[in-house]
Amino acid sequence: MNRAAGIEDMVGAIRRRTLLDKYGRDGGATVLEALNLPLRLNRFSWGGLYLLLAGYADRLCGAETEEIAVSVELLCLSSKILDDLADGDNPALADAIGESGAVFLFTDLLVDCLRRLNRVSEEPDRLYAYLQEALHGEWIDVSRTAFDGMDEERYMTEILPKSAAFFKIVAFLADPGRREFWEAFCDSAAAATQLLNDLHGVFSEGKSDLARLRPTLPLIKALDMPEEYGRAETARLLRGCAAGDVPQEAARERLAASGALEYCAIIREMHKERCAELLRTRFPEEQERNARLLDYLGLGPE
């Protein structure tokens, strides 16, 4: 099945779940449009990742496996709804059903997906533990700025687990017998993907990272560089950018000059290499499957 057909099937399966129907008078179509679901799935599908990982456990692709994939997709979508609501990054959803409606939608999806996934999970408590890690990371992410005593260690231990937790949920559902291996893989995969997201956030006009001084590693590292790299000037420009007194382009140029962006790119490459090495060591006979997984995650050769 090609990627476009897979996305179409996933959207169709989500539409068949009636939970969205009450959010609007058009059977949930407005909500799906506001969420821009096909575009999101084209960028990355958590349900697709589940199916890839399930292949390592020799799980046959059938109705039950596909239903789990849909629940995984919607569980991760609920997290994205909460993230966008906290950051103000998707006003279309709030415009469609209101902010309170978005909160109810997040809760509805979360509860429904957990109910379904608990039926098939070998350890439901572990799913909740992963989710608590994600919520803690989300809280730190939205309640702190890059100036609030954040450093690289806190970023790695308190913010990154937000991303890693969802990777671990998907991996645990797909291949619970190799939990420890997949946890190590997910930590590096999450670091590599989140660092790319952080770097994009610096240059994206649609992201609020600079305006809100989000505690992303590029900002944290720039503020932690030695003074000879212009740390004080970096702080001045970032504060001015957040206040609307300094153009974002000036802040971007300062971040690049500080060396922080290059540093983040190097750390990302290190985590990409670790992911590839982990797969080569654990699954030496699965070269094609390993390459497909790395490419799917955006961690293959560039």
Over residues 147-157, mean pLDDT: 93
Q: Are residues 161 and 275 in the same domain?
A: yes
Q: By the 8 A CB rule, do 283 and 301 touch?
A: no
Q: Quick one: pLDDT band at residue 28, thresholds 50, 70, 90?
A: low
Q: Are residues 50 and 149 in the same domain?
A: no
Q: Quick one: pLDDT band at residue 49, thresholds 50, 70, 90?
A: very high
Q: Angle 160-174/124-143 helices, nearest 10 degrees?
A: 160
Q: Pick from 120, 146, 177: which residue ends a domain?
A: 120
Q: Are residues 93 and 141 in the same domain?
A: no
Q: Are residues 134 and 92 in the same domain?
A: no
Q: Are residues 128 and 116 in the same domain?
A: no
Q: Are residues 166 and 192 in the same domain?
A: yes
CA separation, residue 285 to residues 56, 188, 289 (Å): 11, 22, 9
Q: Pick from 88, 120, 152: which residue ends a domain?
A: 120
Q: Residue 72: CB partners within 8 Å, gap ≥ 6?
A: 46, 47, 49, 50, 113, 117, 169, 170, 173
Answer with the residue of higher pLDDT: 122 or 167: 167
Give the pLDDT of residue 8: 83
Q: Residue 236: CB partners within 8 Å, gap ≥ 6?
A: none
**pTM for this predicted structure:** 0.90
User: Where on the phi/psi map is residue 175: left (φ > 0), alpha (ψ -120 to 50), or beta?
Assistant: beta
By CB atoms closer than 10 A (0-12, 13-18, 19+), residue 21 is middle
Q: Which residue, 186, 214, 187, is CA-closest to 200?
A: 214
CA distance 205 to 9: 32
Q: Are residues 81 and 130 in the same domain?
A: no
Q: Which domain holds residue 6?
A: 1-120
Q: Are residues 111 and 259 in the same domain?
A: no
Give the pLDDT of residue 25: 64
Q: For the domain that residue 187 is a member of, what is the CATH number?
A: 1.10.600.10
Q: By the 8 A CB rule, do 220 and 155 touch?
A: yes
CA distance 47 to 72: 6
Q: Angle 3-16/63-87 helices, nearest 10 degrees?
A: 80
Q: Are residues 29 and 101 in the same domain?
A: yes
What is the share, in percent, of the chain residues with pLDDT greater than 70?
96
Output the CA torsion sign for 91, 164, 45, 119. Answer: negative
pLDDT tens-digit profile of 170-207?
Answer: 999 999 999 999 999 999 999 999 999 999 999 988 77
Q: Pick from 96, 120, 144: which residue ends a domain?
A: 120
Q: Are residues 200 and 103 in the same domain?
A: no
- Number of folded domains that form the chain: 2
* CA distance from start to end of the chain: 25
Q: Angle 91-118/63-87 helices, nearest 10 degrees?
A: 140
Q: Which residue type is seen at 175?
A: D
Q: How many CB atoms lie within 10 A of CB 54?
A: 20
Q: What is the mean pLDDT of the chain?
A: 90
The helix or strand, by DSSP H or E, that contains position 223, with its residue range, turns out to be none
Taking every pair of Cα atoms in the chain, the longest distance, rounded to a whole number of angstroms, is 60
Q: Are residues 160 and 228 in the same domain?
A: yes
Q: Are residues 102 and 178 in the same domain?
A: no
Tokens of 231: 């740390």
Inform me whether the pLDDT recorded for 134 exceeds 80.
yes
pLDDT tens-digit profile of 262-298?
Answer: 999 999 999 999 999 999 999 999 999 999 999 999 9
Inform me whether the pLDDT recorded for 1 exceeds 50.
no
Place of tokens 């390592």: 56
